[in-house]
């Protein structure tokens, strides 16, 4: 079995890069609107974090099945059944 391909290893870096671009854009818009460096940095930080969370959730929802994995996206998988507790009465 071979390891993950270059594309699979770079996927997290792509998501962080897209979130960084979103943060820079929001920071630029915030700076042009307010002319305040502090406020634009806050906008950029919040946009980066929100973008990273949204992109990560979208990546989980649209995941594809791996070579040995038959199940597909992570969020569509069924939970394994839990063991039942015995009554201690």
Domain definitions of the chain by residue range? 7-62
Confidence (pLDDT) at 60:
80
The region that residue 49 occupies, defined by phi over 0 for left and psi between -120 and 50 for alpha, beta otherwise, is alpha
Confidence (pLDDT) at 84:
64
Report field, pTM of the whole predicted structure over 0.75:
no
Asked if residue 37 lies in contact with residue 31, where contact means CB atoms within 8 angstroms, the answer is yes
Beta-carbon-side half-sphere exposure of residue 71 (alpha carbons within 13 Å)? 11
Euclidean distance between CA atoms 87 and 89, whole angstroms: 6
Q: How far is CA 89 from CA 85, 86, in A?
A: 12, 9
Confidence (pLDDT) at 76:
62
pLDDT digits (tens, 9 = 90+) for 15-72: 899 999 999 999 999 999 999 999 999 999 999 999 999 998 888 877 665 555 556 6
Confidence (pLDDT) at 6:
76
Confidence (pLDDT) at 61:
79
């Amino acid at each position: 079995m071979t390891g993950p391909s270059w594309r699979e290893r770079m996927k997290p870096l792509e998501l962080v890069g897209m979130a960084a671009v979103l943060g820079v854009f929001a920071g630029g818009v915030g700076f042009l609107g307010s002319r305040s460096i502090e406020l634009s940095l806050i906008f950029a930080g919040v946009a980066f974090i929100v973008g990273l969370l949204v992109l990560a959730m979208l990546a989980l929802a649209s995941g594809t099945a791996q070579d040995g994995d038959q199940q597909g996206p992570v969020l569509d998988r069924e939970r394994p059944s839990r063991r039942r507790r015995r009554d201690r009465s």
